Structure 1
Amino acid sequence: MVATQRITRATLAALVLLIAVFCYGLACAADGESAGEHALLAKYAALKGKLDKNQFGAPIYLESTEGQDSVRVDMYGVFHHPFETVREALQSPAAWCEITPLHINIKACVYKTTKQQTQLTLYSGRKYFQPPSDAYPLKLAFRVGASRPDYLELSLVGEEGPFGTRDHRIGVQAVPLEGQATFLHFSYTYSHGTMARMAIKTYFATLGRDKVGFTMVGEDGKQTYIDGVRGAVERNTMRYYLALQTYLDTLKTPEGQRFEQRLNRWYDMTAKYPRQLKEIDKAAYLSNKKMERAQQEALQAKQGS
C-alpha cells in the first residue's frame, strides 16, 4: 500500500511538472496573434512604467490566464544586450540547447536539422538527477518566422504532448531599443484533456498545495500569490527568463568556462526568489547538471548535428 502511494504521488508530481514545464516554457504567440515589430514597440511603451518598477526588481512583466482546458502565459522583458546579439543567439537551435538545460527540470536538450525542418527535443524530469531515458521527451518544430535588423520572431510547436496534453506552442518576438537593449515577448499556450486536468487538481490539493507563482490576487489588504497551474507556469517562465539572461550575460566568457559560470549564475539569480523558485541546494544543482550535461552530449552526438 505504501509503495503504491509513493508511485501515485511521484506520477502526479511528474505529470504536473511536465505540464508546467512543457506547456509553458519559454515564449509564444498563438496563431495569427503576431502583429510584428510595431505592435511589440507599442506594448513596450504601454508597459514601460511596470517594467521600471515591479515585484521582480528587474525589467520583467508577466501575465497569465487559465481556461478550463488551456493555460497561457506572456512574459515581457528588457535584455541589456544589443538586438543583434539576442537575434543571433535565439535563432540558433544549438543555443536553445545551451539555455534550456539550465532549468532545474530539463534533463537534456537535443536538436536535429534536415532539409524540411529543425526539431528540438526537450527531456523534462524531476529536480534530482535523471538520465534522459527516465525523463519525458517533447518534440518541438523549431521555426524562425522573421529575422531582420529590427525584428525577430520564432516558434517552437509540438502538436502532441504527454498525458493527453496537446497544442504546445512556444514563441518569441523581439525588437531593438535605444541604448543597445532589446525588448522581448515570451509566451506559451497549451491544451489538456480530462486525464491531465484531474491529475493537476489532485496534485495541487496535496503535494503542490504550498507552491505559488508571482501574481498577486485578492482584494487590497488580503492579497496572496497565485497558486495552482497558473503559479506553476509563472515559476517556470521565470526560470526560463533567467536562463535566457544567463546565456546572454556569459557570451563573452571564454568558451571553456561558460558552462560552469552559467550554472553558478543561473542558480544565484533564482535564489533571489526563494518563495517561488527554491528547490534544492546549490551543490546538488551543480552536481546534477554536470552529470546531465554528459548525457546530453552523448545524445546530441547520436543526432549527427
Structure 2
Amino acid sequence: MVASTRITRAALFAVALLIALFCHGLAAAADTETSGERALLAKYAAIKAKLDKNQFGAPIFLESTEGQDSVRVDMYGVFRYPFETVHEALQSPAAWCEITPLHINIKACVYKTVKQQTQLTLYSGRKYFQPPSDAYPLKLGFRVTASRPDYLELSLVGEEGPFGTRDHRIGVQAAAVEGQATFLHFSYTYSHGTMARMAIKTYFATLGRDKVGFTMVGDDGKQTYIDGVRGAVERNTMRYYLALQTYLDTMKVPEGQRFEQRLNRWYDLTAKYPRQLKEIDKAAYLNNKKLERAQQEALQAKQGKQGE
C-alpha cells in the first residue's frame, strides 16, 4: 500500500513535470540552425503541399524528435491574417499572458520588466482548478530577437525546470506569405536528467499509459500514434499552437467579450482532436478558467504592470 501510494505521488509529480515542460520552448538545436526569414520561407516552400492536405484538416505541419536527454517539437502553420496583425499581436508579453493560460494546465501567467529585461512566470498544474500557489512557477525570459516589417522572431527561455530539467525554450518565427497570410514556426524543447527520466517512466507506466501524440510510427502494416514523452510534448505543443490561433481569431471581438470567447474558441478547436487532447468536459474547463483568471489578475496586480 505504501509503495503504491509512492508510485501514485510520483506519477502526479510527473504529470506536473510534463505540463511544465511544454511551457518552455525554442529548441536548443535551433540556436545552431540557419535562422531568419530566408530559412523560414524556404521551409514554407518545402512543406506547402503538406500544409494544404494533412491529417489535421488545417494548414498545420508537425515534426518531432527525441534524443536520450531531450525532446524537440516543431510546428508550422499558416494563419489567415496579414503579417502586420500577427507581428503586432505577438510582440507583447501581456499578449502571451492572454495566450498561455488558455492551455488546460496553465493556471496563471504574469509578467514584469526590470532593467529592460522582461520575464514571464507560468504556473503549471493539473487539468483541474488549482490556485497558483499549488502550481509550479516556471520563469521564462521573454525576448524579441528580430522585429522587421517582414519578419518576427522571439523566444521564451527558462534555464531550470522541475525534476532536474533544463533549457526549456519556446521559439516563434513568423513571415508574410502570399494571400495576405502569415507563415509561423512554433518550436519547443527541453533537456532532462536522471530524476526527470524516472518521473517520466513512472508516469507513462501508470496515468499516462493510454495517452498518444500525433505522429504515426511503425511500418505500413501496423501504424500507431506515438506515445511516451514525445507524444506528450506533441500534445502540449498543439495546445499552445491552438491558443495562438484562438488569440488571433478573437482580436476583433469587443474587449469585454474576448476572454469568454477565447475560452470557447480554444476548447472547440481542441475538440477536433479528441484522441489526443480531450481531458475534461467544456463546462468544467470554462468554470476552471474563470476561477483561474481571477487568480491571475490578483497576481498581476501584485506584480505590477511594468511594460507591455
Query: Which TM-score applies when normalising by structure 1?
Result: 0.96
Alpha carbons 2:14, 2:202 under 8 Å: kept:
no
Alpha carbons 2:213, 2:235 under 8 Å: kept:
yes
Please tell me the residue identity of whatever aligns with 2:95.
A
SS at match of 1:127: coil
Using a 3 Å threshold, how does the CA distance of structure 1 residues 42 and 220 change in structure 2: closer, same or farther? same
Alpha carbons 1:123, 1:136 under 8 Å: kept:
yes
In structure 1, the residue matched to 2:14 is: 15
In structure 1, the residue matched to 2:208 is: 208
In structure 1, the residue matched to 2:38 is: 38
Alpha carbons 1:24, 1:189 under 8 Å: kept:
no
Alpha carbons 1:19, 1:165 under 8 Å: kept:
no
Please tell me the residue identity of whatever aligns with 1:189.
T
In structure 2, the residue matched to 1:271 is: 271
Q: Deviations over 1:99-141 (max 9, x none)?
A: 0000000000000012230000000000000000000011000
Q: Percent identity?
A: 85
Alpha carbons 2:25, 2:156 under 8 Å: kept:
no
2 CA distance for matches of 1:208 and 1:298?
33
Structure 2 alignment gaps of length 5 or more: none
SS at match of 1:75: strand
Using a 3 Å threshold, how does the CA distance of structure 1 residues 49 and 71 change in structure 2: closer, same or farther? same
1:257 corresponds to 2:257? yes
1:291 corresponds to 2:287? no
In structure 1, the residue matched to 2:69 is: 69
Please tell me the residue identity of whatever aligns with 1:124.
S
Please tell me the residue identity of whatever aligns with 1:182.
T
Q: Deviations over 1:166-189 (max 9, x none)?
A: 011111111001111100111111
In structure 1, the residue matched to 2:142 is: 142
Q: Which runs of 4+ in 1 moved over 3 A?
A: 4-8, 23-29
Please tell me the residue identity of whatever aligns with 1:303.
Q
Root mean square deviation of aligned Cα: 1.5
In structure 1, the residue matched to 2:280 is: 280
| Structure 1, 196-205 or 293-302: larger mean CA deviation | 196-205
Alpha carbons 1:27, 1:75 under 8 Å: kept:
no
Structure 1 alignment gaps of length 5 or more: none
Q: Deviations over 1:185-215 (max 9, x none)?
A: 1111111010100111121122111000000
SS at match of 1:133: helix
1:179 corresponds to 2:179? yes
SS at match of 2:31: coil
> How far has the Cα of 1:20 moved from its partner?
4.5
SS at match of 1:31: helix
1:102-113, aligned counterparts within 5 Å? 102-113=102-113
In structure 1, the residue matched to 2:151 is: 151
SS at match of 2:104: coil
1:125 corresponds to 2:125? yes
* Number of residues of Structure 1 aligned to a counterpart in Structure 2: 304
Please tell me the residue identity of whatever aligns with 2:21.
F
Please tell me the residue identity of whatever aligns with 1:252.
K
SS at match of 2:86: helix
Alpha carbons 1:121, 1:139 under 8 Å: kept:
yes
> How far has the Cα of 1:81 moved from its partner?
0.8
Please tell me the residue identity of whatever aligns with 2:168.
H
Please tell me the residue identity of whatever aligns with 1:214.
F
Please tell me the residue identity of whatever aligns with 2:101.
P
| Structure 1, 55-64 or 5-14: larger mean CA deviation | 5-14
In structure 2, the residue matched to 1:91 is: 91
Alpha carbons 2:25, 2:189 under 8 Å: kept:
no
Using a 3 Å threshold, how does the CA distance of structure 1 residues 291 and 21 change in structure 2: closer, same or farther? same
In structure 2, the residue matched to 1:246 is: 246
